[in-house]
Structure 1
Amino acid sequence: MYRSLIFIALSLIFSSCEDVIDVDVNTAEPRLVIEASLDWEKGTTGSEQTIKLSMSSPYFSTDTDTSVTGALVTVTNMNNNTIFSFTDENNGTYSINNFEPIIGDTYQLTVVYNGETYQATETLIASTSIKEINESIEGGFDDELPEVNIYFDDPIDEENYYLISFYEIGDMFPFFADVSDEFVNGNEVYYFFEKEEDEDTNMSPFEAGDTVEVKLYGISEQYYSFMRLLIEQYYNSGNPFASNAALIKGNCINPTNPENYAFGYFRVTEVDVVSYTFE
């Protein structure tokens, strides 16, 4: 009884000392966000493509509708001057069904919005094919966890850069990996992915019946450098020994007003897509 009274008294004392503190957080002016990934999946025409436009918002903002409508969006093939005009779907997406992807050609994105013009340029990079996909137990970091393995051949006598995406059906986000052929040029490349238990993200190890979708993108050196920094910052967040996060700029510039650049990236890639179901 005596201890209970002390506990109640202390609780009243500390609860009475609680004050609501309002912290002023610096916010930047909203910027245009361009999500323009023109990916040509092997075995398809690549004619259907979508670009998404939105505005950046403060971290604690409760306004969920940041979609941008009323913009003019075009992509120009700089090799043959063909212009592809995207249709405003009035929900922040801009689509097209007659895009013509050509390996090795250079494309320029142009977005005109709110009196400003934004541009980005990329070259369509070919992707090699995933020649084998399987599962194993002992090849990963933990000998008791299953992992998915992929194998592909890197072309010889050229520099190649890849982005690999592993996505288990039902997960919120995929896992990304950036790969260069600097030390494996002309050889077979092997990459694996395993999942550990993580209560914060509701992640659990692979088990029988799980299906994982793997995408292998052929990307430019410029995009490889961008993704390498982005992936490093993302997966090192929360690490007490990690360096402070820095602003990573994409390739979407504003030629007439350089300070008013857009967030995001314009990429043009070929991608090989395979799926595997664990046994």
Structure 2
Amino acid sequence: MKKIKKYTIMNKTLTLMSLLFMLFFTSCEDVVNLDLDTADPRLVIDAEIIWKKGTDGSQQTIKISKTASYYNGTTPKVSGAIVRVENSNGDVFTFNQTEAGVYVCTNFVPVINMEYKLFIQAEGKSLVATEKLTSATPIDKIEQNIVPDFGGKDVIEVTFYYKDPIDQANYYITDYQSEFLIYPEYEITNDELYNGNEISTRYSHEDMKTGNTLKITHRGVSKNFFNYMKLILDASNSNPFTVPPGNIRGNIVNTNNADDYALGYFRLCEADQVDYLVK
């Protein structure tokens, strides 16, 4: 099976990091603040309904914040929003605020392939999005080996396997979290070349050591969300001298003003999550 591209989500663009790096070495005594362009703040909706296998999926969380300038040390949280999700049967699931910017539902009912619609009223904006809940193929087994990295150094490699269904097109997003990672690392794949076969996904990191716990969250996702995430991940890992795609829009629509759209994507995913103890 192919080695699937690994992505790391970064908060700052590589281009800006490169500029700051050069400024550091050309002017070690002076502090330089770049005069960066600013834009009107946008709402940011982190709305992942994730149904982990082995749970009833009843507790779900949606987070709402706003964009801020590069030099702002905090992320503005949005309070006082009205948040609900309705399924195609007309059932309504209300998300209540538990802290600034955090909205929780404790009686959500996940159903594979059912359509759900998100409604948000926040800061005078009316936002909606629609998506179906996508199933995930369970992880069958996990193996561990020692392999050389690109520099020839031996590193630990963890491989997990799952059987892809033959009767449908499938798209997968996996994230890895551990104590040696500052941010989650992501991998995306689909079954275009492997439909109906066993798929293996490999993960290695130079800092992964015996005794670490590697949390693997393997999601089944829609084709549209897969394509959206590919754009996001390609942009965050692009060459610093290339122009990343701008205005990457999700599926969340402002019903009053289409140009004043929110950032983020309303997605519903079944997931298999495994905490693997590195040997």
TM over 0.5: same fold? Answer: yes
User: What secondary structure is seen at the aligned counterpart in 2 of 1:130?
Assistant: coil
Distance 1:253 1:139, change over 3 A: farther
- Structure 1 spans left out of the alignment, 5+ residues: 1-13, 197-203
Partner residue of 2:22? none
> In the alignment, residue 59 of structure 2 is paired with which amino acid?
E
What do the CA deviations read for 1:32-67 (whole angstroms, capped 9, x no partner)? 1100111000010000011101111111123x2511
Partner residue of 2:67? 56
Partner residue of 2:102? 93
Q: 1:244 and 2:253 equivalent?
A: no
Partner residue of 1:150? 160
Partner residue of 2:7? none
Question: What's the TM-score once normalised by structure 2's chain length?
Answer: 0.84
Give the Å deviation of 1:207. 1.6
User: What secondary structure is seen at the aligned counterpart in 1 of 2:253?
Assistant: coil
Runs of 4 or more above 6 Å deviation: 18-22
Partner residue of 1:40? 51
Give the Å deviation of 1:245. 4.2
- 8 Å CA contact 2:148–2:154 kept in 1: the answer is no
> In the alignment, residue 235 of structure 1 is paired with which amino acid?
N
Q: 1:195 and 2:205 equivalent?
A: yes
Give the Å deviation of 1:186. 0.2
Distance 1:207 1:159, change over 3 A: same
> Which residue, 177, 184, 191 being the options, matches 2:194?
184
Q: Superposition RMSD on alpha carbons, in Å?
A: 2.2
What do the CA deviations read for 1:185-215 (whole angstroms, capped 9, x no partner)? 000000101113xxxxxxx2x2211110111
Distance 1:181 1:19, change over 3 A: closer
Larger relative contact order (CA 8 Å, sep ≥ 6) = 2
Give the Å deviation of 1:230. 1.1
Partner residue of 2:121? 112
Give the Å deviation of 1:256. 2.0
> In the alignment, residue 166 of structure 1 is paired with which amino acid?
Y
- 8 Å CA contact 1:177–1:231 kept in 2: the answer is no
Question: What's the TM-score once normalised by structure 1's chain length?
Answer: 0.84
Distance 1:151 1:88, change over 3 A: same
User: What secondary structure is seen at the aligned counterpart in 2 of 1:176?
Assistant: strand
Distance 1:237 1:34, change over 3 A: farther
1:1-279 equivalences under 5 Å are: 23-62=34-73, 64=74, 66-77=76-87, 79-138=88-147, 144-196=154-206, 204=207, 206-238=208-240, 240=241, 242-279=242-279
Identity of aligned residues (%): 37
Higher alpha-carbon deviation: 116-125 or 140-149: 140-149
